Structure 1
């Protein structure tokens, strides 16, 4: 292609290139039905495996979230103010331990 080509020249070259590409496409051998079926089944297997992996990841994330929620609940229960009976029992245990050491 030269720099001094006209619009008609460029349009003709484009049409020629398009025609050659179309001829190459039409000259291709047809796809074997067995090969097409194998490709389709392989694609379905890949999609099924992908969906299974996604479900597994989702279940793992959900289990992790539940474990975190349980841990948070345990921390909240431990941080809750203790009753007077619990405080008295802890104080009595410390007193008994001190007496046992003597």
Structure 2
């Protein structure tokens, strides 16, 4: 008989718990209750402020990314200009060396021709 009594007690306790839950649900404030409306408005305002802060952070992040891209492009452009200047300088130096060599050869050929003319 003890089992029957324990079962009945547990069933009654469960029924009481269900009644308490139902009472809590029934007495809960409704969606159009002024207190609930105020809380919902406050949550919406907080959410909007959070979204605005997130948008501002994203905007600042994008600005920083754009600034870094511009700086990187400027550095790349400067490096390319410097490389082009070095290349032009090297080509200029090579052309001067070639022209100087050609002048020396022409002078040597002229002296050789003059010597042959005197001998001959």
> Structure 1 residue aligned with 2:84, among 74, 82, 85?
82
Give the structure with higher Rg (CA).
2
Q: How many equivalent residue pairs?
A: 81
| TM-score, structure 1 as length reference | 0.59
Aligned equivalent of 1:52: 52
Which segments of structure 1 move beyond 4 Å, counting only runs of 4 or more? 5-9, 29-32
Structure 1 residues 16 and 29, CA gap change in structure 2 (3 angstroms): closer
Greater Cα offset, 51-60 or 29-38: 29-38
* TM-score normalised to structure 2 length: 0.52
* Larger relative contact order (CA 8 Å, sep ≥ 6): 2
Question: Structure 2: 5+ residue runs without aligned partners?
Answer: 93-120
**Structure 1: any 5+ residue segments left out of the alignment?**
89-102
Question: What CA RMSD, in Å, does the superposition of the two structures yield over aligned residues?
Answer: 2.8
